[in-house]
Amino acid sequence: IQLTQSPSSLSASVGDRVSITCRASQALTTTLAWYQQKPEKAPELLIYAASTLRSGVPSRFSGSGSGTDFTLTISGLQPEDFATYYCQQVKSFPVTFGGGTKVEIK
Amino acid sequence: EVQLVESGGGLVQPGGSLRLSCAASGFTFSDHYIDWVRQAPGKGLEWVGRIRKKANDYSTQYAASVQGRFTLSRDDSKNSVILQMNSLETEDTAMYYCIRVSSSFFFDSWGQGTQVTVSS
What DSSP character marks residue A90? Answer: -
Q: Kindly tell me if the per-residue pLDDT of A29 is higher than 90.
A: no
Structure-derived torsion over alpha carbons of residues B105, B74, B89, B8, reported in degrees to the nearest 10: 110
User: Which candidate from A42, A48, A96 shows the least CB-CB separation from B104?
Assistant: A48
Instruction: Collect all residues with Cβ–Cβ distance below 8 Å to A69 and sequence separation of at least 6.
Output: A21, A22, A23, A24
Q: Convert B67-94 to b/e letters by CB count within 10 Å (16 or more is b).
A: eeebbbebeeeebbbbbebeebeeebbb
- B108 CB neighbours in chain A (<8 A) are 45, 48, 54
- pLDDT average, residue stretch A91-101: 97
Q: Length of chain B, please?
A: 120
- pLDDT average, residue stretch B35-55: 98
Mean pLDDT over all residues of chain B? Answer: 98
- A99 CB neighbours in chain B (<8 A) are 44
- B102 CB neighbours in chain A (<8 A) are 48
pLDDT in the model for residue A45: 98
Residue type, B80: S
- pLDDT average, residue stretch B1-26: 98
Q: Kindly tell me if the per-residue pLDDT of B72 is higher than 90.
A: yes
Q: Yes or no: say if B108 and A45 are a contact pair by the CB < 8 Å rule.
A: yes
A41-75 residue pLDDT tens: 999 999 999 999 999 999 999 999 999 999 999 99
Q: Yes or no: say if B70 and B16 are a contact pair by the CB < 8 Å rule.
A: no
A39 contacts chain B (CB < 8 A): no
What DSSP character marks residue B68? Answer: T
pLDDT in the model for residue B113: 98
